[in-house]
């Protein structure tokens, strides 16, 4: 679906799948003497505007790392504030539905608030045939947990006699990850100066390009996103070849 678009005055073919690690909300708030949850609120606003922009740039799949399996270690009021932001977003998500954006969630949702789980199922169902862009939200997501989930599924299939161990291929693994039918990541953007993957889509990022920026997520604007895309377009991807 990728096609030529103009980005910062250059004609480019945008990456198909971009992942974003929304980092730096806490520091953004701290710099202003505000509680951390204000940083997440600002981060959520930015998530909305970057999503619209990414669609305009021609990105087909945009995945955000919104809450990791490790983020439960944070103080309870911060976790609650982030869950409230998801809840609010899902109530207002009609904006995206009007924009013809398909929404998917990855991660273990079984431990989330039941009301949140119901809204997630509803928005996935309502938007399932939309095709302007796929927005993927990783909530209670961890790459290692995803691989455990996949291995458990495959082990059950072997035990049930549906497959032999020799039938386990990369394709079969991919079909049993949360991301089934979602292509691998082409580009991972991490703002806020940290240069690590933090358990984000470790299988799907195998050949991703990485783009790091010192800008904190709430301050990461359309121009920053465009610079990441343009930088990606100048890379020489070899996928292990020469």
Which pair of tokens denotes residue 55?
A: 């669609």
C-beta separation of 224 from 213 below 8 A? yes
Stretch that binds ligand FPP, among 18-26, 102-110, 182-190, 207-215 (CB under 6 A): 18-26
Stretch that binds ligand FPP, among 19-27, 126-134, 160-168, 170-178 (CB under 6 A): 19-27
User: Does residue 89 bind ligand FPP (CB under 6 A)?
Assistant: yes
Least Å distance, CB 240 to ligand FPP, is 32
**Which is nearer to ligand FPP, 17 or 37 (by Cβ)?**
37
Cα-to-chain-centroid distance, residue 68: 11
C-beta separation of 222 from 189 below 8 A? no
Write down the number of H helices and E strands in the chain: 8, 8
Nearest of 10, 85, 23, 3 to residue 217 by alpha carbon: 23
Which pair of tokens denotes residue 75?
A: 């103080």
User: Does residue 86 bind ligand FPP (CB under 6 A)?
Assistant: yes
Please select the residue that binds ligand FPP; options are 12, 62, 85, 229, rule is CB under 6 A. Answer: 85
Catalytic residue chosen out of the listed positions 46, 71, 87, 226? 71
Q: Which residues bind ligand FPP (CB under 6 A)?
A: 22-27, 40, 43-44, 47, 64, 66-67, 71, 82, 85-86, 89, 137
């Amino acid at each position: 679906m990728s096609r030529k678009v103009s980005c910062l005055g250059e004609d480019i073919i945008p990456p198909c799948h971009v992942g974003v690690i929304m980092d730096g909300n806490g520091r953004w708030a701290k710099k202003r003497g505000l509680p951390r949850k204000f940083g997440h609120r600002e981060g959520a606003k930015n998530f909305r505007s970057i999503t619209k922009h990414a669609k305009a740039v021609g990105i087909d799949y945009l995945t955000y790392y919104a809450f990791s399996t490790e983020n439960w270690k944070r103080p309870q009021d911060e976790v609650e504030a982030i869950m409230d932001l998801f809840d609010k977003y899902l109530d207002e998500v009609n904006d995206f539905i009007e924009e013809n954006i398909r929404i998917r969630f990855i991660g273990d949702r079984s431990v989330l608030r039941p009301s949140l789980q119901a809204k997630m199922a509803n928005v996935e169902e309502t938007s399932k045939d939309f095709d302007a862009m796929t927005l993927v939200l990783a909530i209670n997501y961890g790459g290692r947990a995803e691989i455990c989930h996949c291995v458990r599924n495959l082990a059950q299939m072997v035990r049930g006699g549906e497959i032999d161990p020799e039938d386990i291929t990369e394709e079969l693994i991919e079909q049993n990850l949360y991301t089934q039918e979602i292509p691998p990541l082409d580009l991972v953007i991490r703002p806020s100066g940290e240069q690590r993957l933090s358990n984000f889509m470790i299988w799907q990022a195998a050949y991703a390009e990485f783009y790091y920026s010192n800008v904190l997520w709430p301050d990461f604007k359309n121009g920053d996103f465009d610079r990441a895309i343009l930088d990606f377009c100048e890379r020489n991807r070899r996928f292990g070849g020469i």
